[in-house]
Structure 1
Amino acid sequence: MHYQPSRVPLRDGRSCVIRQATSEDAAALYALDRAIVRARQGIVKHEDELPPDAATFAAGRESAGLHKTDGTAFPLLVEAEDGGVLGEASVLRIGYRMLRHVGVLGIGVHPAAQGLGVGRLLMQHLLQWVRSHRDADGQRVLRVELYVRADNPRAIALYRSLGFEHEGTRRAFLRADDGALVDDLLMGLLLT
């Protein structure tokens, strides 16, 4: 399973490349994760909860299965002309046979790239890739789900515009930096 890289324009006129993330991208993805956590927007972890280094971060991605090329994982990233990573997104399928048709989506956009269309590009290309994939036995992803903080209206609007529907709420699921309790929303998209 391979994703064909695409050169696409950003809203500011620059171009970027959307391509499959590989294990060689671990250091850049680690730096992206740190930048997102430091910005404190739409994230659920603190900086001291990040892995201590890129190697540990890479090991965590590998143990989650994000390195697999058998249709278990669909990891994409957006790379700027200078080689910096502007964002990443992935769909990771649930391993149990009865749930193999379900993929869980995660996405992160660098704070400096917010508002440039990176998230939308990632989502559109990722969903297209997932829709076109077939396992050797003909099986495929039929449902994609994600979780989003209820206090992240920009992300919620993006997901809704791509067909995701609000399916449930985990009330008072996380505690924000100011101590306020925030709901977490489950959103789903059926690909049938």
Structure 2
Amino acid sequence: MHSKALRVPLRDGRTCSIRRATHADAAALYVLERAIVQARQGVVKHEDELPPDAAAYATDRERAGLHKTDGTAFPLLVESEDGALLGEASVLRLGYRMLRHVGVLGIGVHPAAQGLGVGRLLMQHLLEWVRSHRDTDGQRVLRVELCVRADNPRAIALYRAMGFQHEGARRAFLRADDGALVDDLLMGLLVT
């Protein structure tokens, strides 16, 4: 997928755009992440653990390498017709040469947009990029992995539908808001 926006339908009949995220999207991505964290479903952080403002959030994304255009990262977002962000996802490749074939996937969908197919659109387009991208030296992503809370069955079902397999668990890895200990699942996809 290139930087041009692609118009795609949602399950409710509305049309949205999917495109590569840029540094200019940081403020809107910060608003999206705050909404996701405030909903308290499937996340591992609290609102007070977010950067204090959009500028700090942009700096964190930059530091993580999410705006590189050298094949290290591929960040996507989905926008509604009125320009509101419905979701975002990225594949960030590991930096060491022996691990450069591995991409770590992260995804978030606005609570008001869940169930509309936004997550599936993001996953499909990210994996399309993974399968088609080649570095200038011919290298490419051969493995994509992600972590998901064991108490997030919708996300787990989506990942399985996209071909990801359960590879392990970090037992009692996080403490939910109600105090319950929740496993963190590792899922992986080998790209052929």
- Structure 1 stretches of 5 or more lacking a match? none
Assess if the C-alpha contact under 8 Å between 2:149 and 2:183 holds in 1.
Answer: yes
AA partner of residue 186 (structure 1): L
Following the alignment from structure 1 to structure 2, what is the Cα–Cα distance between the partners of residues 3 and 132?
Answer: 15
The answer to whether structure 1 residue 59 and structure 2 residue 59 are counterparts is: yes
Matched length:
192
Counterpart of 1:40? 40
Matches within 5 A, 1:127-146: 127-146=127-146
Assess if the C-alpha contact under 8 Å between 2:36 and 2:108 holds in 1.
Answer: yes
1:76 CA displacement: 0.2
Counterpart of 2:96? 96
Following the alignment from structure 1 to structure 2, what is the Cα–Cα distance between the partners of residues 2 and 51?
Answer: 29
Counterpart of 1:161? 161
AA partner of residue 22 (structure 1): T
TM-score, scaled relative to structure 2: 0.99
Matches within 5 A, 1:1-192: 2-192=2-192
Following the alignment from structure 1 to structure 2, what is the Cα–Cα distance between the partners of residues 5 and 168?
Answer: 36
Deviations 1:91-133 (A, max 9, x none): 0000000000000000000000010000000000111011110
Following the alignment from structure 1 to structure 2, what is the Cα–Cα distance between the partners of residues 45 and 162?
Answer: 26
1:5 CA displacement: 2.4
AA partner of residue 10 (structure 1): L
TM-score, scaled relative to structure 1: 0.99
Following the alignment from structure 2 to structure 1, what is the Cα–Cα distance between the partners of residues 142 and 4?
Answer: 22
Following the alignment from structure 1 to structure 2, what is the Cα–Cα distance between the partners of residues 154 and 180?
Answer: 19
Following the alignment from structure 2 to structure 1, what is the Cα–Cα distance between the partners of residues 14 and 189?
Answer: 31
Identity %: 84
Assess if the C-alpha contact under 8 Å between 2:2 and 2:19 holds in 1.
Answer: no
Following the alignment from structure 2 to structure 1, what is the Cα–Cα distance between the partners of residues 154 and 122?
Answer: 15
1:3 CA displacement: 4.0
What SS does the corresponding residue of 2:71 show, helix, strand or coil? coil
Assess if the C-alpha contact under 8 Å between 1:2 and 1:69 holds in 2.
Answer: no
Following the alignment from structure 1 to structure 2, what is the Cα–Cα distance between the partners of residues 30 and 3?
Answer: 20
Following the alignment from structure 2 to structure 1, what is the Cα–Cα distance between the partners of residues 138 and 154?
Answer: 36
What SS does the corresponding residue of 1:163 show, helix, strand or coil? coil
Q: CA RMSD in A?
A: 0.9
